[in-house]
Amino acid sequence: MKKLFSSALVVGAALSSGGRIGAQPPAPSMLDPHLGVRTVVSGLNQPTSLAFLGANDILVLEKTTGKVQRVVNGAVQSTVLDLAVNGSSERGLLGIALHPNFPANPGVYLYWTCTVAPPPAANPFSPTKESCDNPPVPGPDSNNILAVPLRGNRVDRFVWNGSTLTFDRNLIMLHAFQNDGAPAPPGQGDSAQGPAGNHNGGVIRFGPDGKLYIIIGDNGRRGWMQNLEHGPTPPTADDQFGGPEPDNAHLTGVILRLNDDGTTPADNPFVRAGAAIAARGAIEAGENVKKVFAYGIRNSFGMAFDPKSGGLWIQTNGDDSFDEIERVDAGLNSGWIQIIGPSSRIAQFKGIETTFGGKNLQQLRWPPTNLADTQAEALSRLFMLPGAHYSEPEFSWRWAVAPAGIGFMRGGALGPQYDGDLFVGAARPTLENGYLFRFNLTGNRRKIGVDDPRLEDRVADNNAKFDITESESLLAGRNFGVGTDVQTGPNGNLFVVSLSNGAVYEVFRR
């Protein structure tokens, strides 16, 4: 099976075989001698994210086991839920968010990838089901990359009763099945495209407005939400399931904004645009566009709200070039696939992606040779829904360094100089054995502040993929492994989830 997975999150390769890799990793440390790191819990199986029930009471998700583990006083007390997940590549049990009024409202929201029987070998291009059952059916987990329904990524609300989680409702089902080398539609030149399971995003967060924000990567789709109005090879469809409009099978590469019951907020940025699309007969696409807060996103493992301004920030992963840190306003078109990184660097983007690595942007239907040659041409190609806007990223790396989870420091428990800073984990443990970067924000909380004169343009011009040159001043910690979640805990300290180390760490002031 030919792998076209992103090089971003190492779980798509070494870790997808389960558990831990190699020898015992070195202990995490912070560069500031006033800060220490202690292990909250270890021995977990690929933890992805956490939610605090109390100061020493945490729910932690395990990617490939589908288990929600309750950790009390540093030990796993119980498994409060066990879902049948497909954990291949970047799928699995990925995101958790407590209702803003928790525990008065006991809702616990999970983003996860369900599993079904794989399609027969005679026709591997059509999944056996469109979606999984409601309520979810218990069963074994799967690492078979084809053992997912068409819309196997889902966000569900569960109810916490003090000891277990019980299914309440499904909010949304999203695209998951990726096997694009089908003979239909013909003429796309992707017969060599192997199955994949990456770019599922998976982070969910409630914003200060009480709305639920959901991020999903492009899943290899190439349509409206990836700035290809007519798809990758017009006039044919995006894939064997249709497209390129964002119907239920093609709603990818977006941030969604939903009410806590899964309905669409009336003040979403594209409600009017969606209504107009539905009125033209594309009802599914129109209703889905109403749910969109931002689009043009390749993939992301990190999303967080600024505690001081309420602004939404994400990191986005490029292929071989231009990972980003980005502030997201309502209606943002982030630019993918036409642009990633600053639009002024389009020549570098195209130059790297046409000469390095797979040279295919992980999707054979629309190769990087199709990219624009100039900034003006790239900007003119963006598919702009009414009410959309494009803005440049707040920070980027010329060569990918694979960022992952992000989170803000809330308060001054680590020292007043850290209050409001943005911390970013690594998606590969080989970079400083799992770096922890720290970003200062400017006074208006809309830009990244820098002291290194090399970063005045807010681009780290590193020398090669996974090289952190020009990021040295951003380095705050080492040896955290794959950092998939970063959050401030109830005690004011910083907590980092390490997927590769099977642990949760706490950064504290000595």
DSSP per-residue string spanning 31-42: SSTTEEEEEEE-
**Lowest-confidence range among 18-32, 137-151, 395-409, 479-493?**
18-32
Residues sharing a CB contact under 8 Å with residue 217, sequence separation 6 or more, in sequence order: 198, 199, 200, 201, 252, 253, 297, 298, 299, 300
Taking the C-alpha atoms of residue 261 and residue 211, their distance in angstroms, rounded to an integer, is 10
Give the model's pLDDT for residue 5: 33
The CATH number of residue 92's host domain is 2.120.10.30
* Averaged pLDDT of the chain: 95
DSSP state, 239?
B
| pLDDT band, residue 17 (cuts 50/70/90) | very low
**Average pLDDT over every residue of 435-456:** 97
By 3-state DSSP, what share of the chain in percent is helix, strand and coil, each rounded to 5? 10, 30, 55
108 domain residue, yes or no = yes
Where are the strands (E) in 278-317, listed by range? 292-295, 302-305, 312-316
> Using an 8 Å Cβ cutoff, are 415 and 322 in contact?
no
212 domain residue, yes or no = yes
Judged against a pLDDT cut of 50, whether residue 148 lies above it is answered with yes
| pLDDT band, residue 7 (cuts 50/70/90) | very low
Give the model's pLDDT for residue 228: 98
3 domain residue, yes or no = no
Q: How many domains does the chain have?
A: 1
**Lowest-confidence range among 9-18, 213-222, 473-482?**
9-18
Taking the C-alpha atoms of residue 62 and residue 44, their distance in angstroms, rounded to an integer, is 7
pLDDT, tens only, 187-210: 999 999 999 999 999 999 999 999
| CB neighbours of residue 458 within 10 Å | 17
Q: Which domain holds residue 28?
A: 10-410+431-509
426 domain residue, yes or no = no
Judged against a pLDDT cut of 60, whether residue 9 lies above it is answered with no
pLDDT, tens only, 276-316: 999 999 999 999 999 999 999 999 999 999 999 999 999 99
Judged against a pLDDT cut of 80, whether residue 26 lies above it is answered with yes
- Residue-wise over 121-132: b if at least 16 C-beta within 10 A, else e? eeeebebebebb
Percent of the chain residues topping a pLDDT of 70: 95
Taking the C-alpha atoms of residue 188 and residue 184, their distance in angstroms, rounded to an integer, is 9
**Average pLDDT over every residue of 6-33:** 60
Taking the C-alpha atoms of residue 334 and residue 225, their distance in angstroms, rounded to an integer, is 10
Nearest to 8 by CA among 79, 90, 88: 90
Residue by residue, DSSP assigns 488-499 as: E-TTS-EEEEET
Q: When comparing pLDDT for 13 and 22, which is higher?
A: 22
192 domain residue, yes or no = yes
Judged against a pLDDT cut of 80, whether residue 24 lies above it is answered with no
Percent of the chain residues topping a pLDDT of 90: 94
Q: When comparing pLDDT for 99 and 7, which is higher?
A: 99
Give the model's pLDDT for residue 25: 77
pLDDT, tens only, 388-417: 999 999 999 999 999 999 999 999 999 999
Q: When comparing pLDDT for 214 and 22, which is higher?
A: 214
**Average pLDDT over every residue of 145-164:** 98
Give the model's pLDDT for residue 14: 35
CA dist list (Å): 258 to 104, 286, 289, 291, 310: 20, 15, 12, 7, 17
Taking the C-alpha atoms of residue 192 and residue 425, their distance in angstroms, rounded to an integer, is 34
| pLDDT band, residue 23 (cuts 50/70/90) | low
> Using an 8 Å Cβ cutoff, are 253 and 297 in contact?
yes
5 domain residue, yes or no = no
pTM reported for the whole predicted model = 0.96
419 domain residue, yes or no = no
218 domain residue, yes or no = yes
Alpha-carbon torsion, ordered 126, 127, 130, 135, to 10 deg = 170
**Lowest-confidence range among 9-23, 158-172, 233-247, 262-276?**
9-23
